[in-house]
Structures are given as structure tokens and as C-alpha cells.
Chain A
């Protein structure tokens, strides 16, 4: 059969040329098939780390974040009242929020004149400045100019995975409980779509506040019914004097050693202080083995320990859960 086709093609040189041309065109266009269409609206998979994603992390819970001494001092000084202070109200979270928070997202492409993707924009809830992933090979803006809260991001495809690099951020907070992030931070991200599932994995590096890179991952689920995705629209935001006590010039913070929540995790869950305060070693599985002999789980859990939508203590079946859900 194959030989017959070839004989026919050789008899018709024009047809052969056309086939070769077509094959070349297909080969040249092959990388485009590696680029997955990310466009759409995605619900956040909130069952993962639901406490920190939905309600926000506890005031002093830096478990698993590899803080250095400066980052730890900054985080312990942070007061939740800060976000009520004019000047801080309406601040956008940094780009890292994509891989450590529980918002739904919408991914929107823009195109060049020839139809290739120029950028992917990830928009979310109104306190997240849209993250724009530039695919057109543009250079970074001048680092001495004004910066976007979500920084400057470039991307390229690695097979079916979109790899991005975000730099040129502003100073801000890494987490909702005030772990600081510096303008020298960078985030390397891999975005992979498996049918309905979107996996975003980020490696965050900050020479100012982190002792080691911090790896975070989130899952998002595609939805064909955008209203289900809910809070992914941009809303206007205005600053107002929310709290009379936080008037002009007032800076809420905790003096060294005075953070009232410092021992919460130790008292409630018996987690060692060093781990709660972001000891880099606590990131690794070996740390659990190391403290296993000394660790005694609390007999009764009274606060926020039952897992997502579940009234059982999922972490330890022997532990009685009495917090009536969150």
C-alpha cells in the first residue's frame, strides 16, 4: 500500500512537493500543539489547606515557611490591624498569593496580530492585581521604575506546561498573617492543565526574608458556569477611616516578644515553637520523624481541627474534636 502511494506520488511530482510542503508546515507548527489552552474560569480546590486558604492562617502560624531571622522578626511584629490603616487599605496581594491562597481565578489570553498568544492574564478577587504573563519575549521594565504589586512575569512553554518567572515585585506580605516579602523576591511557576484540573506550582525565593526557597502548590478546577467561580472580578476600592483608633500616623505593630498569639499553636496543638516560627527544617519530612518521640498530640481539640466540612479529627482519629467546625 505504502509503495503504491509512493509510486503514485513520484509520478506526480507536484503532489509530492505538496505533501512535503504540508509536512513541513505541520512540523513547523508542531510547538503550537504543545501549547495548552488555559482560557477559562477555575474554582479553587479549597479542601487543600482550607484553614489558611479560606479563613486565613492563624496570627502566628509560620509552619513550613523557611524564614530567616529577619523574616521571623518582621512576621512577629505584624498586626492584623495594619490592613485597616489608610495607605494599606486596598493594597493588592503579591503574585505569590496565586499559589498560597484560596481564590478562584479567571485566565484570559490576549493575541498578537498573527494569532499567537501575547499574554495570559490571571485575574482573581479584588485584592489581587491581575497577574500578566507575557509570552512575547519582552524584556523586563526598568527595575527602578514604578512596579506592579504582582510584579512582572514572562512565560514560555515547556512541553505542555507553562513555566513563568515573576520578578520586579513591590515590598509586601507573603502571607495574610504578615510574613514579609521584599522587592527582591522572585517566583518561578509551573502551570499545568490536565483536562478540568489546573495545577499551579510555585518556588518563591527571597534573599531578604527567606532562608531557603519556599515551594507551594494549588489546584484549580475548571468550571463551565462562571458564576459558580464567584469572586473573581475586579471591584473598585476606596480608602476610608475604618477604625477611629487607627488615625493619622498610628502604626499598629507588636513590640519584640509581645505578640499575644506567639504561643497559640504550642498551646492548642503542642507544635514546637521553632516549627511554628518558620524553622526551615520544619519544611522537610525528616523533621516530623525527629520530633516524633517528643511530640504528644492534644487529647481534645477545641479549635479548628476537624478538616474541611468534617466534624471528625482527621489528623488523629484518637483525638476528640470539639470545635463544631470552623
Chain B
């Protein structure tokens, strides 16, 4: 009898542990506003409250590209823990926008940069680092430490910056290339290419749900955005010639679902058409109000537009207009 009771108790305990484990394992995927999307082996996209984060993982640890909006760090960390038990080794910011850097401090502190004595690591820049280093283009550092960056803790600030050109490193057997894109969404944009996985993280240059966010105040411009989209199009490889097999470069946008080359071409087309329409109206000396009234986003409003919210169609048109009038010396608001 005692044996039976002990067996029953053990079974109940195991069941409880299994249940707890299963619940824990399911938590990130079932958490409201969180979706973990496998992209390629060793690389997932985590959508947290509509913001996309790329997580590359493997025996060397995790590389996290962008950290979501402020306040979503706990959910993002839980999702990353669900993906890998290895520490976060690097964080890469694609820009200084709050939606990209909001979880910098929490994720950096939760991570662990390479330090002296770790197996297989020969030292170098990261000696004695305890938090995960944050990599970004120099202008991200300037934006987060300047007047506009007030409110960021020191732990959120990029610790490894680069200027013009590219920065690259290798982790988990993949070559990771970080490329500076000048004056697109902002003046500090980076895109990240995981060469082996053939995955491109676009940051705010591509948004599959909205018109691109062009932050003119921080150095963004419509022409830079289009140049960036053409550059990204060059970086993607189509699933050809055997297109029915699938494959090809996968793009992780700032928001929305994964994209491939043809969708990048569609997005580039849309932004270019809106730019040309607005330019045509500017050439007719139209004011911003008149440009808005002419509906230069017709055909795209119901797909990418928004009547309200942080990035409305009106704000997009204003950003395009201001970028073009500033570029060509037209008078604004005439």
C-alpha cells in the first residue's frame, strides 16, 4: 500500500513537473502579441507587439538584431529563452528608433559577452565584458546620447560602433555582415546579412504593413530610402531557376511577415511611385496640403496606409514632401 502511494505520489510529481515544463515551453508562443517564426535553421524571427526581432542562435550563443519597443523586453526575453538556452552574445541595432532599441538595456544585461578564458575564444575586444555588447552605426550612438536620446540608461547605449562601410563577424558558423545604409529611415541605419542562412534583416527600411517610416528629423530621406531599397534588392537572390522549390533570400522587415525578392521589388516600386507622384506635384508648385489632397498614395492606401497612429499616411506624405523640397530647394508650405 505504501509502495502504491509512493508510486502515485511520484507519478503526480512527474506529471506536475511535465506540466510545468510544457507550460513554460509554450509560454512565449502563446503569450499575447508574441509570435516566433522559424526562418532558417538556427535563425528565428520573433514578433513582439508587432515589432520584429531576429534571433540567430547556436552553440556559440545568440545574436539578437533589434530589441523591440520599450516595455516589451520581458516578453522578448522569454521568447529568446524558449528558442535557446545559450547566452545572448551580441545585440545589433538597425537604427536608434525606439521600436528598435527599446529593450537594449534589459537584453544586454541578460546576455553575456565573450570574456577571457571562455573555451575557444582568444580574447580581443571583449575581454572582461559581462553584458552583451550592443553594435550599431555611430549615428545611433550619437542619437541615443544626444538631446533626443535622453532617458536611455547607460546600459542601453551601443558599445561597439562603426562608421561608414561595413562591419562583420562570424558566429555559429555564419558570416554576419552589418552594412551602413546612409540617409534612408534615419542617418544611422544598418542592415544585417546572415550570409550562410541567406537572411537579410532590413530594419525600418522595409515594413510589410506600412509605408516606410522616414524620420527626416534624424537624417532620413525619401531618396535615401529608395536607394536603400534598390540596394536591398541587389542583396536578395530570387528562388530561381527552380522557383517551385522555394528558397531564395528571406528578408525580415521591421514589421509584418517575412518577404522575398519579388515582394522587395513590389515595395520598392510602391515607394518609387509615390515619390514620383509627389515630385510631379511639387514641380507644379503644389503645397503640402494640395499634395495631400491629390492623394499621391492612391492604390496603396488600403494596403500600407493608416488614418491614425504613429505613422499615418499623412505623416508619410509629409516626410516625402519635405525630403523632396529640401533636396531641390523648393519653398515649402507655399
Contact = CB atoms under 8 A, between A and B. Distances in A.
Given A171-B303, A237-B241, A248-B234, 7 more contacts: A71-B299, A75-B299, A87-B262, A87-B265, A147-B257, A183-B257, A249-B272
Interface stretch (A138-146, A264-272, A295-303): A138-146
26 contacts: A68-B302, A70-B300, A77-B273, A87-B233, A87-B261, A87-B262, A87-B264, A88-B262, A90-B238, A90-B243, A130-B244, A144-B35, A145-B37, A146-B258, A148-B246, A149-B262, A170-B263, A171-B303, A182-B303, A209-B302, A234-B242, A236-B240, A236-B242, A237-B241, A253-B269, A253-B273
B69 interface: no
Given A77-B299, A90-B240, A146 B246 contact: yes
A88 to B, nearest CB: 6
A78 B261 CA distance: 19
B256 A237 contact: no
Nearest to A76: B299
A69 B257 contact: no
A251 B240 contact: no
Contacts of B234: 248
A251 B269 contact: yes
User: Which has the most chain B C-beta neighbours within 10 Å: A75, A85, A149, A249?
Assistant: A249
Interface string B30-49: 00000101110000010100
Contacts of A75: 299
B228 to A, nearest CB: 11
Interface in A195-242: 207-209, 234, 236-239
A77 B273 CA distance: 9
B266 interface: yes
Contact of B272 (A170, A209, A251): A251
A256 B293 CA distance: 13
A70 B35 contact: no
A99 B129 CA distance: 61
Contacts of B38: 145
Interface string A93-107: 000000000000000
A88 B47 CA distance: 28
A84 interface: no
Nearest to B269: A251
User: Which has the most chain B C-beta neighbours within 10 Å: A87, A129, A234?
Assistant: A87
A256 B280 CA distance: 10
Nearest to B227: A249
Interface in A240-298: 248-249, 251, 253, 255-256
Contact of B265 (A85, A142, A145, A208): A85
A184 to B, nearest CB: 9
A91 interface: yes
B64 interface: no
A143 B257 CA distance: 7
A66 interface: no
A73 interface: yes
Given A142-B37, A146-B250, A170 B302 contact: no
Query: Which 5 interchain pairs have the tightest Cβ spacing?
Result: A87-B265, A236-B241, A74-B299, A73-B299, A73-B298
Contacts of A180: 299, 303
Nearest to B272: A251
Nearest to B248: A146
B219 to A, nearest CB: 21
A145 B45 CA distance: 9
A129 B294 CA distance: 38
A119 interface: no
Contact of A255 (B39, B277, B300): B277
